[in-house]
Structure 1
Amino acid sequence: MKVKICGITDLTTALAAIDYGADAIGFVFAESKRRISVEKAKDIVTHLPKDILKVGVFVNEVKEKIEEIASCVGLTHVQLHGDETPAFSQSLSLPVIKAISVNDDQSLNAIENHSCEYVLIDGPKGKYGGGNGLAFDWNCISANQIKNKKVILAGGLHEVNVEEAIRLIKPYMVDVSSGVETEGKKDLDKIQSFINKAKGSHTGGTRNEVIYTAE
């Protein structure tokens, strides 16, 4: 089971997460309490192993700015959490993770409109456009809706429920942010516990490629 830790803002946490077994690190460049400067993200990335995915999170940003930041920082993937169109996603030079917020059973119909590398299924949008860290009913996701899609499922994952999420969805990767924080700060003990729980689950990776994300 692969794991992505999102909302990283310092090198110590990034390196600890990787040491614990994280496969991907996420940086937020949109309005958020976890927003990181381009300079700081670039410095962190220079210290990370080449095989670790470096994902930049953006919300309704212009293409030129996304490309500039991605190139400067050394990102490997771009995650879009706004109202970006399929054409916009396809115009970017890096692999795209497009977020879709689930508000009802019909929300997932939007998956059919996106042919980007990954589709991120998140909970209802929060204050700044990204996820609000709340889980939604995972049972509303049917195998047919995500068939032949590389899906990222976001919203409310933490060390207590990650094994259940893996059992239900059989994901390829899980991703967490607020679920490994204490009082708004990344908690290394929670990160280690989350990764251990996720990687201790051997039921995933068989249905399709899914990444779970909690903003």
Structure 2
Amino acid sequence: MTSGIQVKICGLRDSDGVRAAVDAGARYLGFNFFPKSPRYVTPQQAGELAVQVPVGVAKVGLVVDGDDALLDQITALVPLDFIQLHGHETPERVAQVRARYGLPVIKVLGVAQASDLDPIDAYSAVADQLLIDAKPPKGAVLPGGNGVAFDWKLLAGRKYWTKPWMLAGGLTPENVAEAIKLTGARQVDVSSGVESAPGVKDAARIAEFCAKAGVT
């Protein structure tokens, strides 16, 4: 049960992390298929973890500019509920992925300034959900999971988009309540903010994050 806030714990790599996220009340669990990430899992590993996820908790597969060959392999081995596109995918590519795999798509959009919100309407027309994240720092290898936040006031008081959306980027147990208050987000996504080291999830921080977000 939640008080209206839904949490996604992304970058899970082992059974302990999956269990901690489920026990804390997370609504979404994310598996990262970007090889350069410290949170990377193979499709085979993710498939083994996915069968441990109870009904009612959504399994999300994150790819960065993944081609059909990669997505074919992932969807053959992992019973996903969502595909998350975290690269430079165009609206046309989002629509193509959604049609080819018959799964709802979450499109990630990086934000650093107000003009970065301009493409959102185009993606709202083709994606099932949006994930509003901080743009990666200049020269960063990872498109997300960098522990960087954007100015949440950019979202304050906005008339929101036609599709459900999540807030991500630099969220931690210490700031998630403030982020929700400033942005009006009803869904939040966290990865590095609940880790003890890159790629190592901390069960206590997962529980604290969900509690501070308002999951009950």
> How high is the TM-score relative to the length of structure 1?
0.87
Write out per-residue CA displacement over residues 34-53 of structure 1, whole angstroms, 9 at most, x where no aligned residue: 10011111001111112110
The ranges of structure 1 where at least 4 consecutive aligned residues each deviate by more than 3 angstroms after the TM superposition are 142-145
> SS of the residue aligned with 2:153?
helix
1:70-81 alignment to 2 at 5 Å?
70-81=75-86
Superposed displacement of residue 4, structure 1 = 1.0
Which of 91, 107, 131 aligns to 1:120? It is 131
Which of 12, 15, 18 aligns to 1:14? It is 18
1:73-152 alignment to 2 at 5 Å?
73-92=78-97, 93=101, 94-114=103-123, 115=125, 116-125=127-136, 126-144=140-158, 146-152=160-166
Consecutive unaligned residues of structure 1, counting only runs of 5 or more, are 202-215
Which of 54, 58, 63 aligns to 1:53? It is 58
Tell me which residue corresponds to 2:203: 188
Which of 36, 44, 47 aligns to 2:49? It is 44
Matched positions, count? 201
> How high is the TM-score relative to the length of structure 2?
0.87
Which of 24, 29, 45 aligns to 1:25? It is 29
Amino acid of the structure 2 residue aligned with 1:159: P
In 2: Cα distance, 1:200 partner to 1:97 partner: 22
> SS of the residue aligned with 1:42?
helix
2:174 counterpart of 1:160: yes
In 2: Cα distance, 1:167 partner to 1:107 partner: 21
CA contact (8 A) 2:114 2:154 kept: yes
Write out per-residue CA displacement over residues 52-76 of structure 1, whole angstroms, 9 at most, x where no aligned residue: 1000110011023213302311111
Tell me which residue corresponds to 1:35: 40
In 1: Cα distance, 2:215 partner to 2:88 partner: 36
> SS of the residue aligned with 1:26?
strand
CA contact (8 A) 1:124 1:131 kept: no
**Alpha carbons of 1:181 and 1:123: their partners in 2 closer, same or farther (altered >3 Å)?**
same
**Alpha carbons of 1:20 and 1:189: their partners in 2 closer, same or farther (altered >3 Å)?**
same
1:56-67 alignment to 2 at 5 Å?
56-67=61-72
